[in-house]
């Protein structure tokens, strides 16, 4: 059973790897300044973030402002994890 399981995981891993490698072929060259990822949305952040949000750090600007709700979600994730851990690790049936 153990070998069988290892075999399955090897197959899954190799299939995933093959798929990933297949995807590499069409990727833009590493560090290409004109790749779509660098050319479509992000230039606007670089150009106007400092002006609009008055923050020199563009990452912070985007994090806190443009994509503020991602950050809110991130905070919520932490909160969720904290509550989950408390929920799990506190003693059962505790009478406060």
User: According to CB under 8 A, which residues from 8 to 67 bind another protein?
Assistant: 8-10, 12-14, 16-17, 19-33, 35-51, 54, 56-63, 65-67
Report helix, strand or coil for 21: helix
Minimum distance between the CB of residue 87 and another protein, rounded to whole angstroms? 4
Count of residues of this chain found to bind another protein when the rule CB under 8 A is applied: 82
Q: How far is CA 42 from CA 28, 29, 33, in A?
A: 16, 18, 11
Residue 3, CB half-sphere, CA atoms under 13 Å: how many?
Answer: 0
Minimum distance between the CB of residue 11 and another protein, rounded to whole angstroms? 10
């Amino acid at each position: 059973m153990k070998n069988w399981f290892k075999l399955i995981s090897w197959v899954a891993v190799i299939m995933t790897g093959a798929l990933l490698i297949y995807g590499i072929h069409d990727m833009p060259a590493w560090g290409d300044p004109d790749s779509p990822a660098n050319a479509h949305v992000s230039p606007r952040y670089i150009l106007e973030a400092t002006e609009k949000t008055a923050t020199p750090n563009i990452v912070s600007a985007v994090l806190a402002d443009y994509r503020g709700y991602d950050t809110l979600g991130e905070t919520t994730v932490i909160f969720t994890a904290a509550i989950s851990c408390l929920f799990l690790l506190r003693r059962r049936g505790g009478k406060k």
